[in-house]
Amino acid sequence: MDVYINSTGHFLPGKAINNDEIEEILGLIDGKKSRLKNKILQSNGILQRHYAINEQQQTQISNSDMAANAGNACINNSYLSSNKIKMLSCATSQGDNVLPGFGSMVQAALNLSEVELNTSHGICSSSIMALKAAFNAIKCADHDNALVIASELTSRLFKHTRYEQVENNEVDFNAEFLRWMLSDGAGALLLENKPRPTGKSLKIDWIKSFSHANAFPVCMSVGQAKDENHKTWQDYATYAEAEKAGALLLRQDVRLLDNIVAVGVQGFLKLIAQKHVDINKIDHVLCHFSSKYFKSKIFDMLEIAGASIPEEKWYTNLYQRGNTGCAAIFIMLDEFIKTHDLKVGETIFCMVPESGRFNCAYMHLTVAE
């Protein structure tokens, strides 16, 4: 059974926020401007992004509602009514609630009845995990369609008040780093077992992923304080103590970050060796990299390996839309197909490296009529 992406959609909350406005939204930590912000922004190359919180750090729209908006945009662009959807597969790093699952909340927001439900939890690559669950369900003829949605609302973690709770104001670089990297948004894909009645579809040729969690320590996390390898936020006597220790801050161990490029390229070379990829037959590359710094690293490593793909074939909207985590690849794909005159038979290679504990996901698409 073939599987096609027949419709896409995305949602970005509020207006676009430029680099000079970030601290107006997130707030100044202890009333002081960041000394790290400009350095990190210069490295990642992001010029604007969207936040679901306002200048008073009040949430304007929930994560599940953002997901529902992206889902509705996708459905409205399709030939399928919402009451015909058979499966809903969702991904996020953190839902609005700890429980129930994110998919349940999105289903309610979309008012879908009696669908098969899947929630994929992780960081950037969780969207591809959610997509593969839906892909497999259609491939084995369990369903003839599935709606896949990925959404992120990270800005709530970056309020100045979060950092001001840490004892002795000890906000280290690893805790502040992602404050200038991540933003909010949602993307959605509609999968069906036959192409669209009119227009073009994207046939999913395959989806592969390789996790390296056994080989590397945690790189990106929430719930673990600095230098606390075995104690998590739930192991403190109170949540207040966990917050005071900085266990509720989003952290990135930047010392480990270069590994993500290495394992991502390693997986790509493995796919070439397994004959899944022929670099001479790739027409477009959509890669979720978090920073222009990593793009140059990827290019360098591919050149050394003799597996370069010309830069003009690469597409990104990172600099205009920001790094929206697991939603990024769906938002990117939606904007790409709506702004390019794709020809039948052209191929699209998608790559999503995740630094949580180093999982890398890949997907190969072919344009179909």
Sequential DSSP letters for 34-60: -SSHHHHHHHH---EE--SB-TT--BS
Report CA dihedral (82, 203, 2, 152) to the nearest 10 degrees. Answer: -50
The continuous run of DSSP H or E covering 152 comes out as strand 145-152
Check residue 122 and report its DSSP letter. S
Give the model confidence (pLDDT) of 158-199 as tens digits: 999 999 999 887 788 999 999 999 999 999 999 999 999 999
CATH assignment at residue 290: 3.40.47.10
Contact 353, 265 (CB under 8 A): no
Angle at 186 between CA 25 and CA 135, to 5 degrees: 160
Contact 332, 317 (CB under 8 A): yes
Buried b (16+ CB within 10 A) or exposed e, 48-64: bbbbbbeeebebebbbb
Sequence-separated (6 or more) residues with CB below 8 Å from residue 307: 265, 268, 269, 272, 279
Q: What is the pTM of this model?
A: 0.97
Closest by CA position to 189, among listed 113, 138, 264, 122: 138
As a whole number of angstroms, the distance between CA 175 and CA 169 comes to: 12
Q: Can you give the pLDDT at residue 17?
A: 98
User: Tokens 């790094």 identify what position?
Assistant: 323
Contact 57, 160 (CB under 8 A): yes
First to last CA, the chain: 17
* Inter-CA distances, 298 with 45, 340, 342, Å: 16, 24, 25
- Tens digit of each residue's pLDDT, the chain (369 residues): 999 999 999 999 999 999 999 999 999 999 999 999 999 999 999 999 999 999 999 999 999 999 999 999 999 999 999 999 999 999 999 999 999 999 999 999 999 999 999 999 999 999 999 999 999 999 999 999 999 999 999 999 999 999 999 988 778 899 999 999 999 999 999 999 999 999 999 999 999 999 999 999 999 999 988 877 778 999 999 999 999 999 999 999 999 998 999 999 999 999 999 999 999 999 999 999 988 888 888 999 999 999 999 999 999 999 999 999 999 999 999 999 999 999 999 999 999 999 999 999 999 999 998
Closest by CA position to 134, among listed 156, 124, 154, 119: 119
Instruction: Name the amino acid, one letter, at 315.
Output: Y
Check residue 232 and report its DSSP letter. B
If one counts the domains in the chain, the total is: 1
10 Å CB burial of residue 342 (0-12, 13-18, 19+) is middle
CA of residue 167 relative to chain centroid, distance: 31
Give the model confidence (pLDDT) of 317-345 as tens digits: 999 999 999 999 999 999 999 999 999 99
As a whole number of angstroms, the distance between CA 64 and CA 239 comes to: 24
**Residue 239, SS3 per DSSP:** helix
Instruction: Name the amino acid, one letter, at 302.
Output: L
Which tokens hold the place of 167?
A: 């004892």
Domain enclosing residue 198, as ranges: 1-369
Coarse DSSP helix, strand, coil percentages of the chain, rounded to the nearest 5 percent: 40, 25, 40
